[in-house]
Structure 1
Amino acid sequence: MVPYALIAEPDPHRAAGLLSLVAGEGLEGVLARDGAEAQEVVRQRNAPVLLVTDLALPRVDGFTLLTWLRERKDASATQVVVVTAFDELRVRAWQLKDALGIHSLLSRRAPVDTVRETVRRVLSGQRPLPAAPAEVSDEEEKRRLERIASMRLVDEGPPEAELQGLVTEVAHAFAVPVALLTLVLGDRQWFKAHVGLPPSLAKDRGTPRDWAFCHHVVQGRESLVVPDATRHPVFRDNPLVRDGIVGSYAGAPLVTPGGEVLGTLCVIDTRPLMLGTEDLAALRELARRVAGDLEMKSRGHPALKESVRAAKEPVLTEATALAQLREAIQALDVATLLVAPGRRPFACNAAMAELLGVPMDRFPGMPFDAFCQYVEGLTASPSGRVPELDLAAESSRGLHLTLALELPRPRRVRWVARPFPIPGGVAQLLTIIELGGVAPREERERGLRVDALTGLATRRTGEERLLREIGRCRRDGLPCGLLLVDLVGLGRINVTRGFDAGDQALRDVARRLDGVGGTSGFTVRWEGGTLLVALPGGDAVGVEALREQLLAETDAPLVHTAVAMVEGEEDPQGTLARAHATLARAKAERRARTTPG
């Protein structure tokens, strides 16, 4: 097997930076968006030479991933670097570093050069440079609490109906019993809106801050997911976990447009929580919108209106103008670099970092000529001659150039620089736009969710939905059945009649299966010629009847089927493994019957 570095990181933009970093060390980088996906990569490729991982991973958390990895004989030489935003998780990991085989622990806020130097030292067997923890200062916390007070968000009245409706919809959307909109105060967390809480907590509308999972979100300023709190080394002794109120947690920060973290929008289950990266992204987006709405409502408070009228109109300076523009470009899907007067790169958005394969924090402070040299190094020109990359003349309407990039992947792009005046001089927006035949971001994301051949959900999307439905059925006391359908004759069709015929056969069966489970059921292209039909609420008799109906209506030699029912408190992954084992046995028996003896 080729040596590789495994990056376990849910955030695609940070992942791009880490992949670029390990590539600079001569390693192939392989990305896993959650802990379960990281385990699957290791099963397929054996253990990596380097693992860079967060501790707060969806589906399987970082502690569990590292424990599992160290149980493998081929992982004894794997070097591990942990990069996480959560100080208390990092402290606990340091206490367990020998058992977990951790070679270095870094804050998410560590400079990229520190991360790069740490990886180099770990790979070469040197002692990593000590990294001071980047904790929230007392001054930052004071400003945060003052902001909550000035917005007058805490009151003694009942929760607002609009916010109650929001958390109720969130709970339904994520198939969990509890959803909360919390404010993290000095010594407690306060529930501004809540659904599904036990009566005692609902009456108090809060808990001590020491108990609050949401405290970690505020401290880290990032989303936190704890798939199984009962086994988590940081949270398993939490009173809410011991009392059976919290079995799993996912929370996203309420970040105002001014950058203060007020609290969280979070979901809680009493059972393991199998949310995927797409679910967390949706939760983050909801939290961002709610924080913006709270900000707008606070401006309408009478006392605040009076203070605004009494205040002098703020003067727009170069610094404030650049800060406002920096916030604005973050919402753009087009790769954009903001250049301050004096040709100083000031900030870029995530799209630019992703397109060039460079972490976002590399751009501020980089000389513009150095930026141009970096882009020139990514070009595909065999002669080494490329259009002269530069900013536009300040009196012009803009500079437009076309060039071909080879790295991180081949594509043609348009370089566009546009000048505009701000206090203190002329700034420029530099955009790099992909040309010709490149799918928009929405289409690329859809390709990860929908199988292009059959139109069914992909395995990654389907597995996340399946695990949520299993959890829902368990809470509601309903059965849940799985039907695996394998096109055993697919390979033979491809060989004898061509791949077009094989693709058509697979589409025909997919079309037959799609929708057979009614409104709650769904079908997934699981792998190759295997499709999975999930039947939440379907009992064993109904699932078996569906299987027999399918065999009667389909060319029997073409498909083979296997049924598995969710049993008791069996782990959802165990149910999937048992379904696969059932199908494997059935296929082996079929081969034995059809192979000449």
Structure 2
Amino acid sequence: MAPYALIAEPDPTRAAGLLALITGEGLEGVVARDGAEAQEVVRQRNAPLLLVTDLALPRVDGFALLTWLRERGDATGTQVVVVTAFDELRVRAWQLKEALGIHSLLSRRAAPELMKDTVKRVLAGQRSTPPFLGEPTTEPEGPRLARIDSMRLVDEGPPDAELQALVAEVAQAFGVPVALLSLVLGDRQWFKAHVGLPPSLAKDRGTPRDWAFCHHVVQGRESLVVPDAARHPVFRDNPLVREGIVGSYAGAPLLTSTGEVLGSLCVIDTRPLMLGAEDLAALRELARRVAEDLEQKARARQGAQLQAQQAGQARQPPLPEGGALELLREAVRALDVPALLVAPGRRPYAGNGALADLLGLPAERIPGMSLETFCQHVAGLTADPAATLRQLDLASESSRGLHLTLALERPQPRRLRWVARPFPVPGGVAQMLTLSDLGGAPPPREERERLPRMDALTGLDTRRVGEERLLREIGRCRRDGVPFSVLLVDLVGLGRINMERGFDTGDAALRDVARRLEGLRAPPGFAVRWEGGALLLALPGIDAEAAEAVRQRLHAVLGTPKVVSASVSVEGEEDPQSTLARAQAALTRAKAELRSSHPG
């Protein structure tokens, strides 16, 4: 059969461009719009001479496609060029280039001349340089975040009813339990509208940014589809995937008329997602319309505010020169206490030198910031920016003030008191925000002792305490010349239980598994709440055969929550972290086998 080039690309316009490039090199080109279609082409025609593929393919992603291709005996000579918009996917693919047989990796934004030259070199048997060389892909965050601030998209009120109805319709149309309208902020993603989320995520209306699949949509400025997150080399360790909340994902960028990506309109399922290229195109079109609607509403809101301001100015005499806010500005500057004057409308108006020194923030920048941006800067100086950001705010205008305590880690460790007090000024209610230094952060030892040593839900040791005990017990067993094993257990479908039956039911199931483990241990063994739905049983003095017997006893109990498990024993002078890594790998294999035997 004649040699050919296979192009796996869901976007018709880009596929046509690649096809023209391939035919220009004298090769027959065949286009597949998703990974499953590409597999079918190979089955019918055998492996291609050249494969040009994206990594974010519908139905079967690019990583899975390449893995499958390399298992074929006729694919040893196939040259592979990967083109993708997503930096983290591209880096991971380069790390796996030998196993996946990748000869070149390019950014989606690579110039046509570079693409043409790369194809020529790959066909000539030359491998390319590492990714990112000379290819800046990440755009500055400032303009994008400023656009979100200027459109006033983030608020503390309930989700907009119209947007809620929209995401509910999207979830129903795509046949998935979860749909989100997600804005990607500095350190977190925030759900402007959502349907189908577990109660904890719905209450917080967001997650840390490094958990967010939507972060990749913003970074890549492209639609992202992850058909099977649990098997994906980039996303399988994501906390939302480990918890069973995200099994698959498809998201399209909310792109403004001026080119900023605000976030994503996305759909999520707990199972592998079988959306095709046409579905992805429909999601992109919906996201485009939503972005247009958000812009129109922002313009209307800004116009109404301007009219109201103009009407208010017409009714009230203008403040005299050196009026209330200007007088207060000078008073703030004279204070030795770090202070910020916030004008009506939650606009930072003036800060002083003490505030600038404390936060490492130039005083002249403050009047140009939104309050959200200011709070993001302060939260970024703490150990847990996402959690801190949820606390930081101004007082209610009718209250006597807001008082918070927070611990900074930068520029130097210290504890602060955040106090916001409202007061009337001509034209509205202003606020004075002061930050009082309560002294240095607790010493490391005191801080460690303050942390909880028992998991409140299960009554078991926390992971931090468990790791300390593991190190001690493994060392003791080595000195005494006795074996040491661990049993790692995961509650099957905890995320689904939480979503379908509520978190109280999920918590009860986890406590049940914890009691079963406690009943299997013999002193000095101990059980640990490891992470999420995973628990660990340490078995000092137990060899591999006896540990397997303990594991079988765990599964012999009928009528209790279903679990998947794996046991391993310490080998020789093996590092404890290596033992735990083998246990985690064995558990991952066991979970994969369970999914393949019970796909529903």
TM-score by length of 2: 0.51
Give the drift of 1:127.
Answer: 3.6
1:234 match: 234
Give the drift of 1:304.
Answer: 7.7
Give the drift of 1:12.
Answer: 0.4
Q: Whole-Å Cα distance in 2 between the matches of residues 47 and 309 of structure 1?
A: 68
Q: In the alignment, is the contact (CA less than 8 A) between 1:181 and 1:193 conserved in 2?
A: yes
What is the correspondence of 1:173-192 to structure 2 with a 5 Å cutoff? Answer: 173-192=173-192
Give the drift of 1:301.
Answer: 1.7
Larger Rg: 2
Q: Which amino acid aligns with 2:200?
A: S
Q: Whole-Å Cα distance in 1 between the matches of residues 598 and 50 of structure 2?
A: 26
1:330 match: none
Matched, 1:18 2:33: no
Q: Whole-Å Cα distance in 2 between the matches of residues 55 and 98 of structure 1?
A: 16
Give the drift of 1:302.
Answer: 4.0
What is the CA deviation profile of residues 285-314 of structure 1, one whole-angstrom value per residue up to 9, with x for unaligned ones? 00000000000000012478539999xxxx
Q: In the alignment, is the contact (CA less than 8 A) between 2:94 and 2:130 conserved in 1?
A: no
Give the drift of 1:137.
Answer: 4.4
What is the correspondence of 1:280-429 to structure 2 with a 5 Å cutoff? Answer: 280-302=280-302, 306=306
Q: Which amino acid aligns with 2:258?
A: G
Question: What secondary structure is seen at the aligned counterpart in 1 of 2:274?
Answer: coil
Give the drift of 1:571.
Answer: 6.6
Q: Whole-Å Cα distance in 2 between the matches of residues 92 and 47 of structure 1?
A: 24
2:110 match: 110
2:426 match: none
The count of corresponding residues between Structure 1 and Structure 2 is: 321
What is the CA deviation profile of residues 16-73 of structure 1, one whole-angstrom value per residue up to 9, with x for unaligned ones? 0001111111100000000000000000000000000000000000000000000001
Give the drift of 1:109.
Answer: 0.3
Question: What secondary structure is seen at the aligned counterpart in 1 of 2:146?
Answer: helix
Give the drift of 1:258.
Answer: 1.4
Q: In the alignment, is the contact (CA less than 8 A) between 1:211 and 1:238 conserved in 2?
A: yes
Give the drift of 1:126.
Answer: 2.4
1:268 match: 268
Q: Whole-Å Cα distance in 1 between the matches of residues 308 and 35 of structure 2?
A: 48
Q: Whole-Å Cα distance in 2 between the matches of residues 17 and 307 of structure 1?
A: 49
Q: In the alignment, is the contact (CA less than 8 A) between 1:299 and 1:305 conserved in 2?
A: no
Q: Whole-Å Cα distance in 2 between the matches of residues 18 and 152 of structure 1?
A: 41
Q: Whole-Å Cα distance in 1 between the matches of residues 146 and 98 of structure 2?
A: 41
Give the drift of 1:249.
Answer: 0.2
2:244 match: 244
Q: Which amino acid aligns with 1:202?
A: A
Matched, 1:152 2:185: no
Question: What secondary structure is seen at the aligned counterpart in 2 of 1:13?
Answer: helix
1:82 match: 82
Q: Whole-Å Cα distance in 2 between the matches of residues 573 and 241 of structure 1?
A: 18
Question: Residues 136 and 144 from structure 1, CA distance in 2 versus in 1: closer, same or farther, beyond 3 angstroms?
Answer: farther
Question: Residues 84 and 137 from structure 1, CA distance in 2 versus in 1: closer, same or farther, beyond 3 angstroms?
Answer: closer
Q: Which amino acid aligns with 1:79?
A: Q
* Percent identical residues: 77
- In structure 1, the gaps of 5 or more residues are 311-474, 477-567, 576-597
Give the drift of 1:141.
Answer: 1.2
Question: Residues 201 and 573 from structure 1, CA distance in 2 versus in 1: closer, same or farther, beyond 3 angstroms?
Answer: closer
Question: Residues 154 and 62 from structure 1, CA distance in 2 versus in 1: closer, same or farther, beyond 3 angstroms?
Answer: same
Question: What secondary structure is seen at the aligned counterpart in 2 of 1:207?
Answer: strand
Question: What secondary structure is seen at the aligned counterpart in 2 of 1:301?
Answer: helix
Q: CA RMSD in A?
A: 2.7
Give the drift of 1:256.
Answer: 1.0
Q: Whole-Å Cα distance in 2 between the matches of residues 193 and 171 of structure 1?
A: 12
What is the CA deviation profile of residues 459-484 of structure 1, one whole-angstrom value per residue up to 9, with x for unaligned ones? xxxxxxxxxxxxxxxx99xxxxxxxx
Q: Whole-Å Cα distance in 2 between the matches of residues 76 and 304 of structure 1?
A: 65
Question: What secondary structure is seen at the aligned counterpart in 2 of 1:57?
Answer: coil
Deviation >2 Å, runs of 4+: 126-138, 302-310, 568-575
Question: What secondary structure is seen at the aligned counterpart in 1 of 2:180?
Answer: strand
Q: Whole-Å Cα distance in 1 between the matches of residues 59 and 598 of structure 2?
A: 10
Q: Which amino acid aligns with 1:34?
A: D
1:98 match: 98
2:588 match: none
Q: In the alignment, is the contact (CA less than 8 A) between 1:191 and 1:206 conserved in 2?
A: yes
Q: Whole-Å Cα distance in 2 between the matches of residues 250 and 137 of structure 1?
A: 21
1:168 match: 168
Question: Residues 119 and 156 from structure 1, CA distance in 2 versus in 1: closer, same or farther, beyond 3 angstroms?
Answer: same
Question: Residues 243 and 129 from structure 1, CA distance in 2 versus in 1: closer, same or farther, beyond 3 angstroms?
Answer: closer
Question: Residues 129 and 20 from structure 1, CA distance in 2 versus in 1: closer, same or farther, beyond 3 angstroms?
Answer: farther
Q: In the alignment, is the contact (CA less than 8 A) between 1:118 and 1:129 conserved in 2?
A: no
Question: What secondary structure is seen at the aligned counterpart in 1 of 2:175?
Answer: coil
What is the CA deviation profile of residues 502-554 of structure 1, one whole-angstrom value per residue up to 9, with x for unaligned ones? xxxxxxxxxxxxxxxxxxxxxxxxxxxxxxxxxxxxxxxxxxxxxxxxxxxxx
Q: In the alignment, is the contact (CA less than 8 A) between 2:105 and 2:130 conserved in 1?
A: no
Q: Whole-Å Cα distance in 1 between the matches of residues 164 and 185 of structure 2?
A: 20
Q: Which amino acid aligns with 1:295?
A: E
2:201 match: 201
Question: Residues 87 and 307 from structure 1, CA distance in 2 versus in 1: closer, same or farther, beyond 3 angstroms?
Answer: farther
- In structure 2, the gaps of 5 or more residues are 311-498, 501-592
Question: Residues 46 and 129 from structure 1, CA distance in 2 versus in 1: closer, same or farther, beyond 3 angstroms?
Answer: same
Q: Whole-Å Cα distance in 2 between the matches of residues 209 and 235 of structure 1?
A: 14
Question: Residues 207 and 131 from structure 1, CA distance in 2 versus in 1: closer, same or farther, beyond 3 angstroms?
Answer: closer
Question: Residues 574 and 149 from structure 1, CA distance in 2 versus in 1: closer, same or farther, beyond 3 angstroms?
Answer: closer
1:35 match: 35
Question: What secondary structure is seen at the aligned counterpart in 1 of 2:237?
Answer: coil
Q: Whole-Å Cα distance in 2 between the matches of residues 131 and 96 of structure 1?
A: 12
Q: Whole-Å Cα distance in 2 between the matches of residues 19 and 574 of structure 1?
A: 37
Q: Whole-Å Cα distance in 2 between the matches of residues 224 and 261 of structure 1?
A: 14
Question: Residues 176 and 97 from structure 1, CA distance in 2 versus in 1: closer, same or farther, beyond 3 angstroms?
Answer: same
TM-score by length of 1: 0.51
Q: Which amino acid aligns with 1:5?
A: A
Q: Which amino acid aligns with 1:46?
A: N
Question: What secondary structure is seen at the aligned counterpart in 2 of 1:272?
Answer: coil
Question: What secondary structure is seen at the aligned counterpart in 1 of 2:67?
Answer: helix
1:213 match: 213
Q: In the alignment, is the contact (CA less than 8 A) between 1:298 and 1:304 conserved in 2?
A: no
Give the drift of 1:572.
Answer: 12
Q: Whole-Å Cα distance in 2 between the matches of residues 243 and 178 of structure 1?
A: 15
2:46 match: 46
